[in-house]
């Protein structure tokens, strides 16, 4: 057990792995930039304006404004999670990129750290793409909502760490479907995204707060975009910081265990 | 000062275990500067495990190992900075072109972009892939991929080149091109460690080699010395018939049966052939020089390896 918790030695070489990924991302930018744009429009129209025309307001807030931060938070979660599950798995298993990289001065810790940083960066980029759309619809407040950008990186790092833990233990690419359907999809629905957590039975509220990382990300996001800052922000932030640190450390150690034999 | 050149690799009682399996079982060897050193052996002999330990990607279980005088457990990044590795598996980056692969890889070694660019072009020329410069690696043939991997292993001007089955699965033309390039690197004074189970490859390239089996080193020496010591100069092959067998036994000529032929290792094929023709009425007789393959089969046995 001891080695799962030991803090890995990471060097600044990790950024070289990040650099490689971002170069590939921007080379195929047309493919990569459209999903977040489309996603923002789809959510806004289908749920925001569609369902919103019936719901109108939640807790005194126009429904579309209520879900706007959730759209951002879900995108943060999805982009980092899928990048560091399927994306990282393909690079690790099918492309053998990690093997090629650790034959250079890069260590496996550097490589995985670079992948995590890249997952977080992808979340950040998606939020940067979505923000103007949401701003154009007038459903987020400016300039406070710009803080969603650094928050996206932190939230992205958290989901990247969680994702990489699954990638480190998954026997095949198919079994990565389990966390996607059993964790990510329910989280996107029950984390105070499209309706307040307080509508759920008390027990579920506790579960959502204690165990669902997205709950905390949505909560902070909403404080920024409405805006409605409260002292709770600090608690949510601390929760995210701790969980991010734990999962990133475990992810790197699990990956080391998987790849260094 | 003394004229002793420090060894590039020095291994003493190197061991690697996976669970209860000893992949590398207490081997000792030293590789000198400028030498081409080969590891031969059947599948599962422990060659690749040994390469991975030297390349600092797999930690040894026990024993002493120094590469450039440094311990892979303590200074992996410093050692790897000076290594060029051609792995057995093709692991080029499919998201990049030939040039992109070399350039991206240079970055991992902290090579400045200008120098990396120049070197990449040079190396594409060296492995005759300049025409494929902007082609993605998926569109390359197997031989081209291996050549590109060789080029990739050279981006950092390595002091030691580690090649794990460099010509595996290639057609004769592609193999010869790789050999030619390796010969050139050798002539430039590069130190090369390679594994292979192509014995002609080992014979052609290696100054010195070891034959491994079951994680142990069976013999060590130059290809020519090993052939001379363990087999002799020549081999006479004759079709296996009861007459031939009894005749050889009668004339006290030691032989070995392989399938439907009888092999006789000898210093003088002429004498053996004479005895055969005069006394044994053989069907088919063939004489040929002894090769490393004969040494290998003699030492590692003929049993098929999984």
pLDDT in tens, B29-82: 999 999 999 999 888 899 999 999 999 999 999 999 999 999 999 999 999 999
- A7 touching B (Cβ < 8 Å): no
Q: Does domain B233-289 have CATH number 3.30.70.20?
A: no
- Which bin fits B13, alpha (ψ -120 to 50), beta or left (φ > 0)? left
For residue A79, what pLDDT is reported?
A: 96
User: Which residue has 């995108």 as its token pair?
Assistant: A75
Chains A, B: CB contacts within 8 A come to: 61
For residue B169, what pLDDT is reported?
A: 80
Q: What is the mean pLDDT of residues A93-101?
A: 96
pLDDT tens track of chain B, all 306 residues?
Answer: 445 667 999 999 999 999 899 999 999 999 999 999 999 988 889 999 999 999 999 999 999 999 999 999 999 999 999 999 999 999 999 999 999 999 999 999 999 999 999 999 999 999 999 999 999 999 999 889 999 999 999 999 999 999 999 988 888 888 898 899 899 999 988 999 999 888 888 988 999 999 999 999 999 999 989 888 888 888 888 888 888 888 888 888 888 888 888 888 888 888 888 888 888 878 888 888 888 888 888 887 766 565
Distance CA B298, CA A95 (A): 39
Tell me which residue in A19, A96, A104 faces B105 most closely, judged by beta carbons. A104
For residue B292, what pLDDT is reported?
A: 84
Distance CA A120, CA A97 (A): 20
* Cβ-Cβ contacts under 8 Å for B204 (sequence gap 6 or more): B179
Domain boundaries, chain B: 9-227, 233-289
User: Measured between CA atoms, how close is B180 to chain A, in angstroms?
Assistant: 24
- A100 touching B (Cβ < 8 Å): yes
What are the strands, taking DSSP E only, across chain B?
A: 9-18, 21-31, 36-40, 62-67, 83-86, 160-164, 191-196, 208-213, 216-221, 234-239, 256-258, 261-266, 285-289
**Whether A13 and B59 lie within 8 Å, measured CB to CB:** no
**Whether A20 and B85 lie within 8 Å, measured CB to CB:** no
- A106 touching B (Cβ < 8 Å): yes
Biggest alpha carbon–alpha carbon distance for chain A: 59
For residue B247, what pLDDT is reported?
A: 85
For residue B153, what pLDDT is reported?
A: 96
User: Measured between CA atoms, how close is B199 to chain A, in angstroms?
Assistant: 27
**Whether A103 and B59 lie within 8 Å, measured CB to CB:** no
B51 contacts in chain A (CB < 8 Å): none
pLDDT in tens, B274-284: 888 888 878 88
What does CATH list as the number for B9-227?
A: 3.40.50.300
Averaged pLDDT score across all residues of chain A: 94
User: Which residue has 């010869």 as its token pair?
Assistant: B176
**Residue A4, Cα to own-chain centre: how many angstroms?**
22
* Cβ-Cβ contacts under 8 Å for A79 (sequence gap 6 or more): A36, A119, A122, A123, A125, A126, A156
User: Measured between CA atoms, how close is B81 to chain A, in angstroms?
Assistant: 5
| Closest chain B CA to residue A90 | B94
- Which bin fits B97, alpha (ψ -120 to 50), beta or left (φ > 0)? beta
Interface residues from chain B to A (CB-CB < 8 Å): 18, 55, 57-59, 76-78, 80-81, 83, 85, 87, 89-96, 104-105, 107-110, 156
Helix, strand, or coil (residue B195): strand
Dihedral sign from CA coordinates of A68, A240, A260, A106: positive
Distance CA A8, CA A249 (A): 7
pLDDT in tens, A197-231: 999 999 999 999 999 999 999 999 999 999 999 99
For residue B4, what pLDDT is reported?
A: 66
Structure token digits, residue B152: 């990739």
Distance CA B217, CA B13 (A): 11
* Cβ-Cβ contacts under 8 Å for B206 (sequence gap 6 or more): B36, B37, B38, B194, B222, B223
A96 contacts in chain B (CB < 8 Å): 89-91
Q: What is the mean pLDDT of residues A91-100?
A: 96
pLDDT in tens, A227-250: 999 999 999 999 999 999 999 999
Tell me which residue in B77, B89, B92 faces A105 most closely, judged by beta carbons. B77
> How far is the CA of A252 from the CAs of A87, A111, A114, A164, B25, in angstroms?
16, 9, 10, 8, 30
For residue B261, what pLDDT is reported?
A: 86
Which of B53, B78, B108, B153 is the best residue to mutate to test the A interface, defined by the most A CB atoms within 10 Å of its own CB? B108
| Closest chain B CA to residue A96 | B91
Distance CA B193, CA A100 (A): 18
For residue B75, what pLDDT is reported?
A: 96
Domain boundaries, chain A: 2-259
- A90 touching B (Cβ < 8 Å): no
**Whether B80 and A99 lie within 8 Å, measured CB to CB:** no
For residue A257, what pLDDT is reported?
A: 94
| Closest chain A CA to residue B162 | A103
For residue B162, what pLDDT is reported?
A: 97
- Which bin fits A59, alpha (ψ -120 to 50), beta or left (φ > 0)? left
Q: Among A48-62, A65-79, B128-142, name the one with the lowest average pLDDT.
A: A48-62
**Whether B87 and A100 lie within 8 Å, measured CB to CB:** yes
């Amino acid at each position: 057990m001891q080695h799962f918790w030991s803090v890995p030695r990471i060097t600044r070489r990790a950024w070289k792995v990040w650099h490689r990924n971002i170069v590939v991302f921007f080379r195929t930018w047309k493919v990569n930039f459209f999903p977040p744009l489309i996603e923002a429009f789809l959510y806004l129209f289908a749920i925001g304006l569609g369902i919103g025309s019936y719901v109108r307001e939640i807790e005194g807030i126009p429904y579309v404004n209520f879900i706007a931060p959730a759209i951002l938070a879900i995108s943060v979660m999805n982009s980092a999670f899928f990048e560091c599950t399927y994306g990282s798995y393909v690079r690790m298993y099918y492309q053998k990129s990690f093997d090629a990289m650790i034959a250079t001065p890069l260590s496996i810790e550097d490589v995985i750290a670079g992948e995590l940083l890249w997952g977080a960066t992808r979340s950040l980029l998606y939020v940067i793409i979505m923000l103007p759309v949401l701003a154009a619809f007038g459903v987020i407040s400016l300039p406070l909502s710009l803080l969603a950008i650094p928050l996206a990186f932190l939230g992205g790092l958290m989901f990247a760490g969680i994702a990489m833990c699954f990638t480190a233990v998954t026997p095949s690419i198919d079994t990565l479907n389990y966390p996607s359907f059993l964790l990510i999809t329910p989280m996107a629905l029950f984390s105070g995204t499209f309706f307040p957590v307080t509508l759920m039975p008390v027990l579920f509220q506790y579960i959502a707060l204690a165990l669902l990382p997205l709950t905390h990300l949505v909560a902070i996001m909403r404080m920024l975009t409405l805006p409605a800052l409260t002292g709770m922000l600090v608690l949510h932030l601390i929760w995210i910081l701790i969980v991010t640190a734990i999962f990133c450390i475990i992810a790197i150690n699990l990956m080391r265990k998987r790849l260094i034999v | 000062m003394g004229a002793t050149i420090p060894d590039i690799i020095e291994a003493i009682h190197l061991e690697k275990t996976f669970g209860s399996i000893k992949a590398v079982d207490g081997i000792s060897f030293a590789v000198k500067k400028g030498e081409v050193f080969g590891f031969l052996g059947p599948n599962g002999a422990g060659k690749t495990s040994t390469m991975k330990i030297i390349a600092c990607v797999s930690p040894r279980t026990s024993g002493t190992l120094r590469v450039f005088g440094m311990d892979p457990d303590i200074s992996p990044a410093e050692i790897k900075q000076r290594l060029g590795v051609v792995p057995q598996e093709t692991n080029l980056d499919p998201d990049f072109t030939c040039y992109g692969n070399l350039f991206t890889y240079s970055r991992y070694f902290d090579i400045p972009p200008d120098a990396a660019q120049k070197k990449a072009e040079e190396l594409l020329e060296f492995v005759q892939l300049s025409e494929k410069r902007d082609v993605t690696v998926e569109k390359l043939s197997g031989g081209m991929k291996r050549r590109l991997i060789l080029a990739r292993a050279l981006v950092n001007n390595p002091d030691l080149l580690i090649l794990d089955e460099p010509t595996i699965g290639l057609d004769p033309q592609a193999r010869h091109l790789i050999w030619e390039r390796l010969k050139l690197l050798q002539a430039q004074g590069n130190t090369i460690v390679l594994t292979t189970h192509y014995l002609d490859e080992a014979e052609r390239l290696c100054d010195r080699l070891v034959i491994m089996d079951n994680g142990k080193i069976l013999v060590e020496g130059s290809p020519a010395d090993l052939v001379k010591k363990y087999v002799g100069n020549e081999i006479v092959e004759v079709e296996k018939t009861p007459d031939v067998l009894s005749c050889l036994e009668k004339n006290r000529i030691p032989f070995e049966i392989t399938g439907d032929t009888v092999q006789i290792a000898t210093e003088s094929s002429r004498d053996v052939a004479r005895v055969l023709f005069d006394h044994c009425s053989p069907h088919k007789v063939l004489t040929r020089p002894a090769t490393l393959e004969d040494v290998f089969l003699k030492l590692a046995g003929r049993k098929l390896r999984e």
